[in-house]
């Protein structure tokens, strides 16, 4: 993590409970209504922009809107979990992962702009729902917290793979972004596993997968 990146969360780690909730709320507002900044260069930078035909452009924009929502949800989950995590190490782990998700969020937003589209209008709703889930997971204890990270990251990794297969072939800029995101998500899952994640009960994983399918169907359009 760069010095700047760690700065965004360093204060959060040292705060008391009330201030931590305030910082959490502020993170939420920036994620949903602000323009988060990436710490790393956009992986699409080396690829030239090509003009996509209208249906390819709309399809690519729909997929990138889904990915943007996925990153909004990741921020919400991690901040929600971090707000109630008991172990400072687990909290640090969650916030470090959240920082890389901020890069993803910024890259997806930039790509949506380039595709002359916009993020989901329902982002406040996606954020609120995911944050509540994150808090609930966090309250169950740190093993659950990390288990949630593993399940979320594995599901995101799988849908990124799906998107890489269905993106218009000529949309190399979106592709480059999704490739780096996929590598990052796999690493987030591996780290959480190594940090002592417990395996979530099947029904919980099933509900998460159902919720993400609903999100993808809606976010492709709205």
Q: Which of 120, 72, 128 is nearest to 220 (CA)?
A: 120
Q: Contact letters (x/-) for Fe ion, 99-118, by CB under 5 A?
A: --x--x--------------
In the bound complex, what is the minimum distance in angstroms from residue 116's beta carbon to Fe ion? Answer: 23
In the bound complex, what is the minimum distance in angstroms from residue 67's beta carbon to Fe ion? Answer: 8
Which residues are annotated binding-site positions for Fe cation? 71, 101, 104, 153, 185, 188
Alpha-carbon dihedral angle through residues 13, 19, 25, 27, given to the nearest 10 degrees: -40
In the bound complex, what is the minimum distance in angstroms from residue 44's beta carbon to Fe ion? Answer: 15
Which of 32, 73, 185, 197 touches Fe ion (CB under 5 A)? 185
Residues 27-66 that bind Fe ion (CB under 5 A): none
CB 164, CB 114: distance < 8 Å: no
In the bound complex, what is the minimum distance in angstroms from residue 101's beta carbon to Fe ion? Answer: 4
| Residues 6+ positions from 87 with CB-CB distance below 8 Å | 142
Structure tokens at 1: 């993590």
Q: Contact letters (x/-) for Fe ion, 132-171, by CB under 5 A?
A: ---------------------x------------------
Q: Which of 75, 79, 141 is nearest to 108 (CA)?
A: 75
Q: How far is CA 83 from CA 111, 131, 138, 149, 199, in A?
A: 30, 10, 8, 15, 22
91 belongs to the binding site for Fe ion (CB under 5 A): no
CB 65, CB 112: distance < 8 Å: yes
188 belongs to the binding site for Fe ion (CB under 5 A): yes
Q: Which positions touch Fe ion (CB under 5 A)? A: 101, 104, 153, 185, 188
């Amino acid at each position: 993590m760069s010095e700047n990146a760690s700065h965004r969360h360093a204060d959060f780690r040292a705060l008391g409970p009330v201030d931590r909730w305030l910082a959490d709320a502020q993170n939420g507002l920036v994620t949903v209504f602000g323009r988060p900044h990436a710490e790393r260069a956009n992986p699409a930078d080396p690829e030239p922009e090509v003009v996509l035909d209208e249906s390819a452009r709309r399809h690519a924009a729909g997929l990138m809107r889904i990915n943007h929502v996925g990153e909004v949800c990741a921020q919400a989950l991690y901040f929600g979990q971090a707000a109630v995590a008991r172990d400072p190490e687990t909290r640090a782990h969650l916030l470090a992962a959240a920082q890389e998700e901020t890069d993803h969020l910024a890259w997806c937003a930039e790509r949506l702009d380039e595709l002359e589209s916009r993020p989901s209008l329902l982002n406040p709703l996606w954020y609120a729902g995911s944050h509540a889930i994150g808090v609930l997971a966090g309250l169950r204890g740190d093993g659950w917290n990390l288990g949630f990270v593993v399940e979320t990251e594995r599901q995101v990794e799988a849908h990124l793979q799906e998107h890489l297969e269905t993106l218009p072939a000529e949309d190399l800029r979106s592709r480059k972004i999704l490739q780096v995101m996929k590598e990052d998500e796999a690493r987030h899952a591996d780290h959480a596993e190594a940090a002592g994640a417990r395996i979530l009960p099947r029904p919980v994983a099933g509900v998460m997968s159902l919720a993400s399918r609903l999100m993808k169907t809606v976010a492709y359009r709205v």
